[in-house]
Structure 1
Amino acid sequence: MTSAASESSQNPASALPKSWEPSAVEAELYQGWVDAGYFTADATSDKPGYSIVLPPPNVTGSLHMGHALDHTLMDVLSRRKRMQGYEVLWLPGMDHAGIATQMVVEKQLAAEGKRRDEMSREDFIERVWKWKAESGGTIGEQMRRLGDGVDWSRERFTLDEGLSRAVQTIFKRLYDAGLIYRAERLVNWSPVLQTAISDIEVKFEDVEGELVSLRYGSLDDAEPHVIVATTRVETMLGDTAVAVHPADERYQALIGTTLEHPITGRQIPIIADDYVDPEFGTGAVKITPAHDPNDFEMGLRHKLPMPTIMDETGKIADTGTRFDGMDRFEARVMIREELAGQGRVVAEKRPYLHSVGHSERSGESIEPRLSMQWWVKVDELAKMAGDAVRDGETTIHPKSLEPRWFGWVDDMHDWCISRQLWWGHRIPIWYGPDGEAVCVGPDEIAPEGYVQDPDVLDTWFSSGLWPFSTMGWPDKTDELEKFYPTSVLVTGYDILFFWVARMMMFGKFVARDAGEDAAPGPVPFHDVFLHGLVRDEHGKKMSKSRGNGIDPLDWVERFGADALRFTLARGANPGSDLSVGEDHAKSSRSFATKLFNATKFAMMNGARPAPLPDRADLTDVDRWILDRLEQVRAEVDADFDRYEFGKACEALYHFAWDEVCDWYLELAKVQFAAEPARVEATRAVLGTVLDALLRLLHPVMPFVTETLWKVLTGGESVVIAQWPAATDVEADAVAAQRVSDMQKLITEVRRFRSGQGLNDKQKVSARVTGMGEADLDGKLGSIASQAWLTDPAPDFTVTASLEVRLSRATVVVDLDTSGTVDVEAEKRRLAKDLAAAEKELASTTGKLGNEAFLAKAPEKVVEKIRGRQQVATEDVARLRARLAELDGK
């Protein structure tokens, strides 16, 4: 045996690195977990199943702080359940991200002097797949850096063959059920991308524009006319009516008449509609049904013509005016000038700040545009999604977000699912020579001579199937049998309406469609945990424009994955945003280092998990820390079960740092100097506590806990260790009180020393009195050690003293012979304490003298205040006596 091996066998702590350097161990530890198969789920296992599907990030993207929060929380849940004995499936994957991916490849083509429309569809798709193979794995590597315990053997991609089959299957089922249809409706149109985009891809920004008031009808004030205001003058080419409120007396004579359009010459009617606000502006509004959502609805109600005046690129088209071919913004200026020349511009307001929707991907302002598209009829599906929460099949955490859920699903509009792109799931509709349409299922072939619809499906359509398509649906698989419905969905509240609602609708439809009685079936997940947004340390939303974004991988490099994870989990509670900054990450890194150093020190002193002696043979301090461990374990379990990640982390942090490291470990040093039996008991208690603490912390901080736990226990891996179980030992209240008294006494002495400006090692001559043998139980040495006290000289005579009364203990400091005490500083300290005690006495006395309060307050509350009054009375008397004594010096 080598000397190093001999040293390691004698003291396991020698197997640990000199200091905690995350970057030196994280990659190797993670790969070891993967190679060992710890994250690979067994669908045939007898263990109860627990499953989470990863919200699929875009294949084009990289992880931002929101992703890092998502992944951390899912990993915490998965690791804990695995330790609790569940068969855990955390299923990873990526979304093909139709628009984003197509844009990336088109930019590459542009750099080569090529355009998509110069290629065949097949060649372009082949080019995208090539890009995906070469550059689409960034997020996967980043997930490994975070420590994501996902089942890589089941990684999925929304365009995989199996998932594509699921998409085609559900499309046909919805189509055959009459829930998918084709119609000309208003959509969010991107002139740059030349496709419809979803609501979630539209970001509203305040921009400076102009508000122009236009005169329709006669230029003679005595003749029929109306004045309307608009921020988009160019759309007036598509006006087919002017609307007023039916009760507006100003326009009663005009309702039902027509006015000549000032440019096209068309006769447009004056209509009455309750939608119009008579108090806003002139009380008259121009109606452009093909280019405004509200106007479109009004156009449907009044059967108005709906001419589209712009082509796919945002240029004016088919108006028969000289403005055809102009860009929409150029036309805005030219039309305004023509109207001004006619004397029809009666007012202009510039700049006029108003909110305008912009394409999240391409950046330009979107154009509401009438377009022939494919739609999902959502009424029935949305009702099932709403009822699932109402009936308790799915629980939303926090409950306070339920009204937002109902507000969305109870008022959902039909969903536009077609996109004018090439990359994505092609719509499985084929058209015959005479325009007839047929929906082709995954095992069917279109009739000869039929041509497939050129559009692809909205990315949200395929991601809406994610919980069950990833497990093999529509086939019956072991995964579906074991892990579906999934246990919990973890996501941000900002996409509650878009993704969560679609998954719920599809999941309920699939289950209902498979049943004989057509009744709604199982939900896709039992719990929905909605966390908030990650903001910067000042509470501002992170964005590129503000320059306040934080790269989570940068924090992993600088502080370690555990520090990033603990920072995020510590701030995460249901529905609440969290603010993070570099100081938070540094604090978490310090916590990891503290845990490492404390555990290593404990092992160097022989700490190890071992059978504990009888409780009667343990010290008060031993019983106290074991009882606190059980109390914290119960608290952490309850918090995790409620998805209160922040509370669980706070409990673990303060237990580890404040109680284990700062108190028990320090007090254990005194016990290590005791007789052998006491030393062995202390080692066993400390080892037991650290063993459980590392397991409790493992889901949040997997790397440092794995490093320490394996050496501490000699076990294979904390990943597969058993989660700490509840004990049936009754807590020792007497020991807890004694330790609490000792802590307060030591803290007060430390405060005295600090007020005196004494350094940490400087001894003060003092003695502890008033403690019986049962109270002492080894604490006298602890008090002396922790407060840096020394025995007084033989000729010790007390002429003044510091007296701290807790239980029956008093610390008496020799102010004459210690040579270290600043009497004036001590008087200032006592005066401050006296003021606080007098304030407390006045407050409690006032409450107890208030008859109205005494009549309403519960007896327990009154008794508690009487106890506070008694303590304050004693403190006032004691502190006044001390000050009087010092004043005589």
Structure 2
Amino acid sequence: MSEQLSDRYNPADVEGRTYQWWEQAGYFKAQDQSTKPPFSIILPPPNVTGFLHMGHALDHTIQDMLIRWKRMNGYNTMWLPGTDHAGIATQTVVEKELKKDGVTRHALGREKFVEKVWEWKHTYGDRIYSQMRRLGDSCDWERATFTLDEGVSKAVRKVFVSLHKKGMIYRGQRLVNWSGPLETAISDLEVEHQTIKGSLYHINYALEDGSGFLTIATTRPETMLGDTAVAVNPEDERYKHLIGKNVVIPLINRKIKIIADTYVDKAFGSGVVKITPAHDFNDYKIGKAHNLEFINILTRKAEINENGGAYKGLKVQEARKRILEDLKAQNLLAKEEPHVHSVGHCSRSGAVVEPFLSEQWFVKMENLATPAKRVVENGTIRFEPESWTKVYLHWLNNIEDWCISRQLWWGHRIPVWYCNNCEHQNVSETDITACEKCGSHDIRQDDDVLDTWFSSALWPFSTMGWPNETETLKTFYPTSYLVTGHDIIFFWVARMIMMGLEFKRDVPFRTVYIHGLVRDSQGRKMSKSLGNSIDPVEMIEKYGADALRFTFAAHLYSGKDFKFSEQRLEGYRNFMNKIWNAARFALSNLSDFKAPSGGTNALPNKSHISVFDQWIITKLAEVTKEVEEAMEAERFADAANALYQFIWNQFCDWYIEFTKPVMNGTNAEEKAATQLVIAQVLNRITRLLHPFCPFISEEIYQKLPIKGAACIVDQFPNTRNDKEFLSLASTSAAFEIDVVKEVITAMRNIRGENRISPAIKLNVRLGVTNDTVQKLLGNNRTAIMTMGRLENLEIGEEGNLMKCAVTSVVVKDASVKVIIPLEGLVDFDEEVKRINKTMEKLQKDISSLTGRLSNEKFVANADEEVVAADRALLAQSKVQLESLRESLMRFQ
């Protein structure tokens, strides 16, 4: 006997309770030692300051789908969660909190400030974990790791010391991205490039010999304070004679040389460029190549320093304004013209990022990059989609040394101590109190912390206990999958590969699955400034976690961005309701059903099952195979959509309707057989659906008469482990019911198109010449009449088609003409008007679509999906137009 479901599906009643039960029952836990094959994923650690956003929701849905699917396939699955200390983000959040009380971190001092950050972390740091639970993430929570945990910190120090001993970590002065408000170097990922409307300033630099001027175009006039040369192209006839001579920098009257370099674009501006090696990345390279002086004009707060003369102490924008005023006053500003260009801004402070020459710690990347290239080139690591392989390799082939130091207080402090007595640098895995060289206790630790990405690069093995050789590492390293967005291939993916090869002598994962970005319904990137960002937790509260997850899964095409709309989400919420109501109805028909001892292995008596039972089992076999193949090939949308079509169209809309006469009939043996088929099919539906929609599938599963302990750990159906039940499938039965189904659909369509009330019973003729098809239609006369709401049904001759609605049904080799006399049911004059109006609109649509598809530019530039949809619509419109023409002839 089955238990009953509540009247309506309310996700809020189900999700929290179900998740808590799963977690308490230990279903998420992995075993360090097991006879099951291992499958592991390391969660890309979200920032400890963060909230679950739509990108996380997509990313986590994919990972949880894989984990649940593999768990049900008998794997020892480990999904290891964690959070990142997010140096800049967390420090900024806490500083803002302190500012409310009028306190600065400098007033507190380093030790007290770090204590405050830890307090904040203990209070708010795990909130994203609770949001992940809302989504249904089946992580092994006992393994949750934080990047500043003791074990990870130990690994970080060991790696730093090891690389330093090998000469692969060094300290040097180089140009970095600098955020003035934060007073620290930042990574490229923290630089947001914004297109702004600025100006191109043409400034006259006087030749030293007084013979004239060179006009130089720049978008950053204030940087001329740090110019150490001007450059021309050696092939530029206008300036060849000036190479080697000097010009005088306006306002500060410092002499600099005119040099030649092919980097200069003769066509840009005047063909002369100023070279500021300490404040421009391209100029930095030229400065190195030509052995130029490097003059830093900025302080750590991005204000003009003593090298700026009269402009000392001004902020960059203030200095620019003053310099332009002074240039104009001395007639040295030749012209100013509008110029749209890209400017880097700090993602944390919003300030313009300044290239800044400073003393930093770096990792030499070339030797680490070589093996990291090899493992992707030889297929040891596979990118999906494969196109990202080229992007990854291109970056590694043009790699620069990695700046790993940050001028922050929150993070892994660099394990280097400077001796004030002998100036020796002590590098140690443990804190030291005396200089290893001279024994002096007058030592001080480096003030900087490591880039957050440094600890993240070790994530696949530091989270599993390395440098100790743990059982976890032996079982789960390398991990099976890394699921992430393309924006961190270089910052994280590549560095994990490098560090895994360097310290574990093996790759950190086998497959890198790259998904696209979540965009709004118009295809725009979600952002607070555009006001189009969506909170996934709000969506879960409104529609349920399963609907959100299925929305992602159904549109998860390899590497492509996902356009999210609430309308889509609402559609999949309706799908959840459809599943619930169908399950509820099916279970109500199983109230007197006695579950067989064989459970899912129990088979109905083949002689008692109906053609409808054989049909649904055939469709189940097809979708099982389709889902299995799609999941194996990482075609997740294909798997989700195959399930959607099967559950909604085949099971809910047709099979349940087909079985009503059996359930209400008097044949006890036939009813018992159908009940067993319903119970078995429903059991398999919940299991197939579970990786995509874990909550609703588990809730229904628990009410089934045939079930195990939990859907989450039951076996995922496939064609190998379900051979016996699926052997009841019948291709002839499937063909028979497909014909019946299409005939009934055609009748319903005619009823709808002609606006005939459902209360009116129709007289229908089925024109068919094939004896086999005629016989199968006759065998299903009752179902056709009941589900088509018919008064009378004739099967055989077409008869007179005038004043009739006619449509043809073709299923494989079977052809049936569905004919419905409309005399007395419709106003033919009105129908003729309606048809003519519809034809007129269709002709316009066909003309518009034909024009668009014949435009080569449109076809070349539009999305493939858009072009394919237009072609399909054109073909459909042509067929519809021809059908209406035929109708018009019959109605007149």
Q: TM-score, normalised by structure 1?
A: 0.88
Gaps of 5+ in 1: 1-9, 512-520, 836-874
CA contact (8 A) 1:532 1:576 kept: yes
1:58 alignment counterpart? 47
Deviation string, structure 1 residues 532-582 (Cα, Å, up to 9, x no partner): 010111111111011011100001111111111111222212210011111
Q: State how far apart, in whole Å, the 1-side matches of 2:168 and 2:272 are.
A: 38
2:379 is equivalent to residue 388 of structure 1: no
Return the offset for 1:822.
5.4
Q: State how far apart, in whole Å, the 2-side matches of 1:589 and 1:40 are.
A: 30
1:738 alignment counterpart? 736
2:235 is equivalent to residue 216 of structure 1: no
Equivalent of 1:596, from 580, 597, 601? 580
Q: In 2 relative to 1, CA 798–204 (structure 1 residues): closer, same or farther, beyond 3 Å?
A: closer
Q: In 2 relative to 1, CA 446–168 (structure 1 residues): closer, same or farther, beyond 3 Å?
A: farther
Matches within 5 A, 1:94-493: 94-218=83-207, 223-319=211-307, 321-349=309-337, 351-433=338-420, 434-442=422-430, 447=435, 448-493=441-486
Q: State how far apart, in whole Å, the 2-side matches of 1:156 and 1:672 are.
A: 54
Q: State how far apart, in whole Å, the 2-side matches of 1:234 and 1:200 are.
A: 26
Return the offset for 1:104.
1.0
Q: In 2 relative to 1, CA 880–398 (structure 1 residues): closer, same or farther, beyond 3 Å?
A: closer
1:81 alignment counterpart? 70
Deviation string, structure 1 residues 590-649 (Cα, Å, up to 9, x no partner): 000100000110111127767333556543332222122122122212222222222211
2:662 is equivalent to residue 671 of structure 1: yes
Q: In 2 relative to 1, CA 654–880 (structure 1 residues): closer, same or farther, beyond 3 Å?
A: closer
**3-state SS in 1 of match to 2:580:** helix
2:57 alignment counterpart? 68
CA contact (8 A) 1:224 1:254 kept: no
2:620 alignment counterpart? 629
Q: State how far apart, in whole Å, the 1-side matches of 2:888 and 2:535 are.
A: 57
Q: In 2 relative to 1, CA 812–338 (structure 1 residues): closer, same or farther, beyond 3 Å?
A: closer
Structure 2: which amino acid aligns with 1:283?
A: G
Q: State how far apart, in whole Å, the 1-side matches of 2:159 and 2:886 are.
A: 85
Q: In 2 relative to 1, CA 286–331 (structure 1 residues): closer, same or farther, beyond 3 Å?
A: same
Equivalent of 1:577, from 526, 544, 561? 561
Return the offset for 1:83.
0.4
Q: In 2 relative to 1, CA 446–669 (structure 1 residues): closer, same or farther, beyond 3 Å?
A: farther
Q: State how far apart, in whole Å, the 1-side matches of 2:24 and 2:109 are.
A: 43
Q: State how far apart, in whole Å, the 2-side matches of 1:498 and 1:827 are.
A: 66
Deviation string, structure 1 residues 453-490 (Cα, Å, up to 9, x no partner): 11000001111111111010110111101111010001
Structure 1: which amino acid aligns with 2:385?
A: P
Equivalent of 2:689, from 697, 717, 722? 697
1:681 alignment counterpart? 673
Q: In 2 relative to 1, CA 879–585 (structure 1 residues): closer, same or farther, beyond 3 Å?
A: closer
Q: State how far apart, in whole Å, the 2-side matches of 1:732 and 1:683 are.
A: 18
Structure 1: which amino acid aligns with 2:76?
A: E
Q: State how far apart, in whole Å, the 1-side matches of 2:362 and 2:288 are.
A: 17
**3-state SS in 1 of match to 2:30:** coil
Moved more, 445-454 or 117-126: 445-454
CA contact (8 A) 2:608 2:669 kept: no
CA contact (8 A) 1:212 1:345 kept: yes
Return the offset for 1:676.
2.0
Q: In 2 relative to 1, CA 791–710 (structure 1 residues): closer, same or farther, beyond 3 Å?
A: same
Matches within 5 A, 1:815-854: 819-820=824-825
2:492 alignment counterpart? 499
Q: State how far apart, in whole Å, the 1-side matches of 2:72 and 2:387 are.
A: 31
Q: State how far apart, in whole Å, the 2-side matches of 1:358 and 1:876 are.
A: 56
1:779 alignment counterpart? 780
CA contact (8 A) 2:304 2:316 kept: yes
CA contact (8 A) 1:670 1:781 kept: no
Q: In 2 relative to 1, CA 506–446 (structure 1 residues): closer, same or farther, beyond 3 Å?
A: farther
Q: In 2 relative to 1, CA 825–210 (structure 1 residues): closer, same or farther, beyond 3 Å?
A: closer
CA contact (8 A) 1:537 1:580 kept: yes
Q: State how far apart, in whole Å, the 2-side matches of 1:236 and 1:622 are.
A: 83
Q: State how far apart, in whole Å, the 2-side matches of 1:213 and 1:814 are.
A: 83
Return the offset for 1:790.
2.3
CA contact (8 A) 1:755 1:826 kept: no
Return the offset for 1:792.
6.9
CA contact (8 A) 2:546 2:693 kept: yes
CA contact (8 A) 1:204 1:355 kept: yes
CA contact (8 A) 1:167 1:465 kept: yes
Q: State how far apart, in whole Å, the 2-side matches of 1:362 and 1:459 are.
A: 17
**3-state SS in 2 of match to 1:355:** strand
Moved more, 467-476 or 645-654: 645-654
2:696 is equivalent to residue 707 of structure 1: no
Q: State how far apart, in whole Å, the 1-side matches of 2:151 and 2:758 are.
A: 67
Percent sequence identity is: 45
Moved more, 492-501 or 36-45: 492-501
Deviation string, structure 1 residues 731-765 (Cα, Å, up to 9, x no partner): 63322322222122111111222233222232123
Q: State how far apart, in whole Å, the 1-side matches of 2:434 and 2:318 are.
A: 46
**3-state SS in 1 of match to 2:342:** strand
Return the offset for 1:797.
14
Q: In 2 relative to 1, CA 88–259 (structure 1 residues): closer, same or farther, beyond 3 Å?
A: same
Structure 2: which amino acid aligns with 1:133?
A: H
CA contact (8 A) 1:83 1:719 kept: yes
Q: In 2 relative to 1, CA 403–327 (structure 1 residues): closer, same or farther, beyond 3 Å?
A: same
Deviation string, structure 1 residues 29-67 (Cα, Å, up to 9, x no partner): 100000000001111111111111111111111011001
Deviation string, structure 1 residues 92-147 (Cα, Å, up to 9, x no partner): 11000100111111111111111111122111111110111112121011111111
Q: State how far apart, in whole Å, the 1-side matches of 2:197 and 2:798 are.
A: 83
Q: In 2 relative to 1, CA 443–327 (structure 1 residues): closer, same or farther, beyond 3 Å?
A: closer
Q: State how far apart, in whole Å, the 1-side matches of 2:287 and 2:882 are.
A: 84
2:790 alignment counterpart? 789
2:875 alignment counterpart? none
2:868 alignment counterpart? none
CA contact (8 A) 2:839 2:881 kept: yes
For these two proteins, the number of residue pairs brought into alignment is 825
Structure 1: which amino acid aligns with 2:158?
A: T
2:632 is equivalent to residue 641 of structure 1: yes
Q: In 2 relative to 1, CA 881–652 (structure 1 residues): closer, same or farther, beyond 3 Å?
A: closer
Q: TM-score, normalised by structure 2?
A: 0.88
Q: In 2 relative to 1, CA 610–830 (structure 1 residues): closer, same or farther, beyond 3 Å?
A: farther
2:752 alignment counterpart? 754
1:765 alignment counterpart? 763
Equivalent of 1:522, from 501, 506, 512? 506
Q: In 2 relative to 1, CA 213–697 (structure 1 residues): closer, same or farther, beyond 3 Å?
A: same
Return the offset for 1:880.
10
1:860 alignment counterpart? none
Q: State how far apart, in whole Å, the 2-side matches of 1:298 and 1:812 are.
A: 82
CA contact (8 A) 1:797 1:814 kept: no
Q: In 2 relative to 1, CA 615–174 (structure 1 residues): closer, same or farther, beyond 3 Å?
A: farther
